[in-house]
Structure 1
Amino acid sequence: MKELLLHLRPEQTVLALLSDGRLEDLSVERAGEENIVGRVYKGIIRNVVPSLNGLFVDIGIGRNAFLRTKDVVSKKQAHTEGAPVLVQVEKDSTESKGPLVTEKISFAGTYAVALYGTGYIGISKKIRDEKKRDFLRRHAKEICPPGMGLVVRTAAEAAGEEDFRKDLASLSHLMEVVEKRYALEKGPALLYRDGDLAVKSLRDYMGKDIDRLLVDDHDTWLRLSRMAEDENICDPHKVVLYEEKEPLFAHFHLEEQMRQLFDRVVPLPTGGSLYIDYTEALTVIDVNSGSFKGKGIPHDQLAFLINKSAAYEIARQIRLRGIGGMIMVDFIDMEKKGEKEELIRILQAAVRDDRAKTLVLGMTSLGLVEMTRKRTTQRLWQYYFDTCPLCHGTGHILSAPAAADRILEDLENRRTRGPFKGDLEITAPPEVAALLAKAPFKERLERTAGKEVAVKENPAFTRETYTILSV
């Protein structure tokens, strides 16, 4: 049984996809921090940088976006500093980079995705009935205005002709509205934003395989029920108002599953575990057999067994955690070429249904599997955690002995500038002060200073904070 749970609070909206009670997909939208991917702006070119093969564009969000030369479509328009440009956000910003934008504009409807500035007509590969493909392509060509292309979505296979035409007409109208606003607005300006997560839950997630959508907010439930009926997206009775006293996520035991998504170590059902580490440029996943030993199973078979289990879990974890960009996976070493090729096929199949474009590029000579996943949202932990002000995201702080050594070195450096005039008072955090107040540090401090040294503690100090005063 597949269910969508839409949990709404004033500060955030969370959408969870469950398959027989197991969390399979997750999306978060915080109030005031909506995802800007998909938004269309009238931007102003601020810098043209040939060495970077791109342009920096002001879209009015405080950080310049980057437009790659290969994503420039309007060749006739002059792309010079100060010129306006119509762009859509393709990737959200990171801690060190602004968003990535493109001139290849697209709008997603219920049954098709409209493509601006092209005449291309494409049909989802999942629609295999040739008669249906021909029918959809013919009607798409009939209704598409000049300068607009379409990619027909899988949902169109079960849509009626009138519903399909209405959806395409709506996309065509949206394109016209954006063009008119682009001509009238003074840049930089926001021209179009996608629907909120509640609307996306119905439009993007509510497929034929979903049994129901549970919503725990009455007004939102009413809005989605009407939308489902008016736009014929699904049976309105599938949109259900959750009215139990127990909170929605607690009722389905989701809170513990969500907490596990912030753990570095992910246990595998067949034994072993995944270790997931993040850097600015890429995510590294290590498959570890740990202490798991299969009884009577040869090492090669055991490695393949754990790696297969890891492949399915990796696809699930990168989806749930919102991991994007480059991904490197270090599977357990296998000797047989056939097993390596089979593992790649399993991983490719596991990521096939991911809503974000995910590519498995193959295995390197060192046995590492390279993957890329389109970054459409922030990583999940960025919605719930701030970077630690003590370790600055490294996960490490100075040990007490290292902090004590640093104070001693500072004292030695100060002593080279001349003798101290009076006795000294050193204040440090409690665990560091405890070391400094006893041998051998106390003797070394007084020998270096040539004076009496009093050590005090201040619980408010961090390991890197201390004072040296002459009294």
Structure 2
Amino acid sequence: MKQLLLHVRPDQTVLACLDDDILSDLFVERAGEEDIVGRVYKGVIKNVVPSLNGMFLDIGIGRNAFLRTRDTLPGAAHTEGSTLLVQVEKDSTETKGPLVTEKISFAGRYAVALYGSSYIGISKKITDEKKRNFLRSQAKAICGGAMGLIVRTAAETAEEEDFKKDLTSLTRIMEVVMKRGAIEKGPALLYRDGDLAVKSLRDYLTGGVERILVDDRNVWQRLITMAEEEKDISKDRILFYDERESLFKSFKVDGQIEALFDRTVPLPTGGSLVIDYTEALTVIDVNSGSFRGKGIPHDQLAFLINKDAAREIARQIRLRGIGGIIMIDFIDMEKKEEKEKLLRILRQEVRDDHVKTVVCGMTSLGLVEMTRKRTTKRLWQYYYNTCPLCKGTGRILSARAAADRILEDLENRRRKGPFQRDLEIRCSTDVKKVLESAPFWDVLQKTVLRDIRITGEPHFSRETYTILSL
């Protein structure tokens, strides 16, 4: 059974998608931290950088956005000071501003409208040729060449009236944004997509989803009103949750979310995934773990674990919001046909991802390369801050190494001349223990040749210390 759980608080909305009670997708929206992907701005070009094959624009958010040359439209002026209509394609990171494109699109329930294009495309998942031709003719009749259109899979079962209504709505949105773009002075926000509650109805309450449970009465009533306007959405599928136990706790979602922050992910076969993030890419290692499979040949055993791993990897990258380059080290397999079969399984598993995901293939070293479009922050960035002590490395200086640094500092000071006064060393309590132990204490006394007092400061990190003359 597929269902959606919409957990609403004044400061945050979380949408969880469950498939037989297993978390299959997760979306987070926070007040003051709204996702700006999809927003349309009128930006002002601040500087063109040929060496980067792009330009920086001021879109009015405090950080300049970057527009790649390949994402521009022909015919527009791309000189410093000129204005452009752009859409945010990728959100800001800690070190970079947002990535924008001139190829603007607006998503409806049954189609996606394309600015500056006359292309009409039909979802590949609609295989009935008669239906494809009908939808294409309807799209051409309504758009009239004023915009391009990609017809979504949901259009296959839509009533003709509802399909036309959706396309007409997209046409109006396009017209309003273009008119505002002609009037407003840049930088300015021209369009923002609906909130997560709206998206839950438009994008995720598909035919395969039986119901959506909402734990906020106001949001529930708003969705009911929307469903009444959209004839193909039964309001009976939108339920208000008002039990004593919280929505996520009742469906055991909280524990599944917490598990998404673990580095190691257990597999049903007894193997595991180990997921590590770097600045450039994400690395996933597949381990056989405790599963040995008595009597099963090694190549069959490896394929069995890898098959489970491929399915779980597709789920994990969706739930964790992993984007960019992904490298996977599956368990080694000798047979070429098994490697090809594994790639087919992985491609099948990522096919329904709402974010564009491409399995590139296997390298000569047996590593699988894939990419997933990076649009928002990784999930952990909504819940955790980078550790100020280890700065995200997962390692901190040992007490022994910190004590060595203090000794080196004292030795360098002594070389400039003997100490004239007694000293006090203030450091963390565990570094104090090391300095007072043999042979450190003997080295300290021989280096300083004065009385030494060591004070342990509980609030000091190991890297922090001061040396005072008494």
TM-score exceeds 0.5: yes
* 1:278 CA displacement: 0.6
1:236 matches 2:239:
no
1:445 correspondence with 2:420: no
Identity across matched positions, percent: 71
Aligned to 1:299: 298
Q: How does 1:263-282 map to 2 (within 5 A)?
A: 263-282=262-281
Q: How far apart, in 2, do the equivalents of 1:160 and 1:340 lie?
A: 43
Identify unmatched segments of 5+ residues in structure 2: none
- Could you report, residue by residue, the CA deviation over 1:18-42 in whole angstroms, capped at 9, with x for unpaired residues? 0111100000001111111101000
Q: Is 1:49 aligned to 2:31, yes or no? A: no
Q: Is the 8 A contact 2:324 2:372 kept in 1?
A: yes
| Partners of 2:75 and 2:242 in 1: CA distance | 57
Cα distance in structure 1, aligned partners of 2:75 and 2:243: 59
Alpha-carbon deviation of 1:183? 0.9
Corresponding position of 2:3: 3
1: distance between equivalents of 2:165 and 2:340? 45
Aligned to 1:257: 256
**Are the counterparts in 2 of residues 121 and 149 from structure 1 also a CA contact under 8 Å?**
yes
1:411-460 per-residue CA deviation (whole Å, 9 max, x = no partner) reads 11111121111111111111110111121111101111121211110001
Counterpart amino acid of residue 194 in structure 1 = D
Moved more, 229-238 or 84-93: 229-238
Query: Which 4+ stretches in 1 moved above 4 angstroms?
Result: none
Q: SS state of the match for residue 27, structure 1?
A: strand
- The CA distance in 2 between the partners of 1:233 and 1:424, in whole Å, is 80
Structure 1 residue matching 2:443: 3-state secondary structure: helix
1:13 and 2:27 are equivalent in the alignment? no
Partner of 2:361, secondary structure, is strand
Q: Is the 8 A contact 1:5 1:15 kept in 2?
A: yes
Shift of 1:232: 2.4
1:317 and 1:78 map into 2 onto residues whose CA distance is 42
Aligned runs of 1:24-35 on 2, under 5 Å? 24-35=24-35
Distance in structure 1 (CA, Å) of the matches to 2:169 and 2:302: 52
State the one-letter code of the partner of 1:50.
P
After superposition, the C-alpha distances for 1:4-25 in whole angstroms (9 at most, x for unaligned) are 0000011110000001111000
Q: How many aligned positions are there?
A: 470
2: distance between equivalents of 1:45 and 1:127? 41
Q: Hey, what's the Cα distance between the residues in 2 that align with 1:291 and 1:20? A: 27
Give, in whole Å, the separation in 2 of the partners of 1:226 and 1:127.
29
Structure 2 Cα separation of the partners of residues 82 and 56 of structure 1 = 11
Residue 147 of structure 1: aligned partner: 146
CA distance in 2, matches of 1:119, 1:238: 37
> What does residue 344 of structure 1 align with?
343
> 2:177 aligns to what?
178
Deviations 1:173-224 (A, max 9, x none): 1001111111111111110000000000000000011000000000000000
The letter for the 2-side match of 1:348 is: R
Distance 1:98 1:288 in 2: 37
Is this contact kept in 1: 2:121–2:151, CA < 8 A? Answer: yes
The answer to whether the 8 A contact 1:114-1:149 is kept is yes
Distance in 1 (alpha carbons) for counterparts of 2:286 and 2:97: 32
Q: Is the 8 A contact 1:203 1:233 kept in 2?
A: no
Aligned-partner residue type, residue 56 of structure 1? F
Q: 1-side partners of 2:359 and 2:311: how far apart?
A: 13
Match of 1:319 in 2: 318
Q: Is the 8 A contact 1:224 1:239 kept in 2?
A: yes
For 2:407 and 2:12, how far apart are their aligned partners in 1?
49
- What letter is aligned with 2:128? D
Q: CA deviation at 1:233?
A: 4.4
- List aligned pairs for 1:394-409, cutoff 5 A: 394-409=393-408
Distance 1:232 1:353 in 2: 25
The residue type equivalent to 1:359 in the other structure is V
Q: Distance in 1 between matches of 2:158 and 2:20?
A: 27
Return the TM-score normalized by structure 1.
Answer: 0.99
The aligned counterpart of 1:36 is 36
User: Matches of 2:72 and 2:127 in 1, distance apart?
Assistant: 33
Offset of 1:267 from its aligned partner? 0.5
* Residues 176-215 of structure 1: pairs in structure 2 closer than 5 A: 176-215=175-214
Preserved contact between residue 159 and residue 232 of structure 2 (Cα < 8 Å): no
Alignment map for 1:71-110 (pairs within 5 Å)? 71-73=71-73, 75-110=74-109
Question: 1:288 Cα deviation (Å)?
Answer: 1.0
CA–CA distance in 2 between the matches of 1:27 and 1:453?
57
Q: Tell me if structure 2 keeps the 8 A contact 1:6–1:198.
A: yes
Aligned partners of 1:326 and 1:373 also within 8 Å: yes
Q: How does 1:320-469 map to 2 (within 5 A)?
A: 320-469=319-468
What is the SS of the residue equivalent to 1:431?
helix
